[in-house]
Amino acid sequence: MNFEKSGLCYGTPPLRGGGRGFIFILFFCFLTSTSIAQISRQSFNVIAFYTSRNDLAHISFVHEANRWFPEMGKRYNFKYDSTNNWNNLNDSFLAKYHVVIFLDTRPDNPNQRAAFERYMKKGGAWMGFHFSGFALTPSGFPQNWNWYHNDFIGAGSYKGNTWRPTSAILRVEDSTHPAVKRLPHTFKSSPNEWYSWEKDLRQNPSVKILLSIDSTSFPLGTGPKRHEIWHSGYYPVVWTNTNYNMIYINMGHNDIDYEHKTNKELSFQFANETQNKLVLDGLLWLGKTSTQK
């Protein structure tokens, strides 16, 4: 019997058939609706890569993320693994995961880079934080990966940053996107070091900017260098490239007490519930859109 066509699960129950039959039908409908709910929240697998060396602010963020994501996985039905072994960035390992996260850096090995590019072009999904988008020549992280920085992320090289880490008022640019549709039009972020970029993302038809720094944030930064304080301009901080299942999030640099040499953690990214909605909804969206098996 086709219960959907009969309307028994969706309309008024039949007047005939007795109480036991009606109870059975209600029980069947409950099981069916429960199964549908479970299917809509099918589990997906997440792997986060990190380096966690040198900069204490980035190390702090990595440790924080590796505490927060597993807790969210228990609540929202995804499995979270993390590794600092970038040799795992290969075809067979990535095939186990629907979403890849870069918490602080990016791969430098050509084979690892090629494997990641294949993964993304086959329908995999990616979330990158803060320093994963960094590239500056000359530096320890030169811009020597054109596909990743120019095509995939789209921002090109790093251009500058604010200092010290401060909160900003962020503005939603596209309230229809699943990653930001639950956010207020503007909100205050966690303290962060904000990046500016070589390329104007507004000129890239493949890039959809989701969040930018609102003008009420200016002046942004405290210095001491003058160029570390922004007084005007347009600065995107979260965006997606519509050619891929991806989202880049510029947040990911906690405030550390370097000045007094205590190295004490002064702020945390995941202490901000509104910002957490962005990360969580972005990840759930990626888990849903990924076609990687």
Least confident of 22-31, 68-77, 104-113: 22-31
Whether residue 27 is found in the same domain as residue 161: no
CATH of the domain at 220: 3.40.50.880
Mean pLDDT of 166-172: 98
Overall domain count for the chain:
2
Q: What is the pLDDT of residue 1?
A: 36
293 falls in which pLDDT band (50, 70, 90)?
low
| Nearest partner of 282 among 58, 125, 87, judged by Cα | 125
Residues 23, 63: one domain?
no
pLDDT value of position 279:
98
- Please give the share of the chain, as a percent, with pLDDT higher than 90: 84
Are residues 94 and 13 part of one domain?
A: no
Q: Are residues 138 and 277 in the same domain?
A: yes
Judge whether residue 66 has pLDDT over 70. yes
Shared domain check, 255 and 112: yes
Q: Is 204 helix (H, G, I), strand (E, B) or coil?
A: coil
User: What pLDDT score does 21 carry?
Assistant: 52
- Asked if 153 and 24 sit in the same domain, the reply is no
CA separation, residue 260 to residues 17, 137, 200, 264 (Å): 80, 31, 37, 9
Q: Which range among 37-46, 124-133, 214-223 shows the weakest confidence by mean pLDDT?
A: 37-46
With CA atoms as reference, report the closest residue to 190 among 273, 71, 247, 280: 273
What is the sign, positive or negative, of the torsion defined by CA atoms of 28, 34, 40, 42?
Answer: negative
The percentage of the chain sitting over the pLDDT mark of 70, rounded to a whole number, equals 85
Other CB atoms within a 10 A radius of the CB of residue 204 amount to 17
The angle at the Cα of 255, spanning 252 to 256, to the nearest 5 degrees, equals 125
pLDDT of residue 48: 98
Do 23 and 100 share a structural domain? Answer: no
Cis peptide before 224 (omega within 30 of 0): yes
Q: Are residues 273 and 219 in the same domain?
A: yes
Domain that holds residue 113: 45-289
Pick from 236, 199, 234: which is nearest to 218 by CA? 234
Residues 66 and 120 in one domain: yes
240 lies in the same domain as 136: yes
Rounded Cα gap, residues 269 and 7, in angstroms: 49
Grade residue 54 by pLDDT with cuts at 50, 70 and 90.
confident
CA angle, 59 as apex, 57 and 63 as ends, to 5°? 120
- Average pLDDT of the chain to the nearest whole number: 89
Q: How confident is the model at residue 246 (pLDDT cuts 50, 70, 90)?
A: very high
How confident is residue 42, by pLDDT bands cut at 50, 70 and 90? low
pTM: 0.86
- Tell whether 129 and 238 lie within a shared domain: yes
Q: State how far the Cα of 92 lies from the Cα of 29, in Å rounded to an integer.
A: 41
Question: pLDDT tens, 5-36?
Answer: 333 343 334 444 455 554 444 444 444 444 33
Same domain, 10 and 116: no
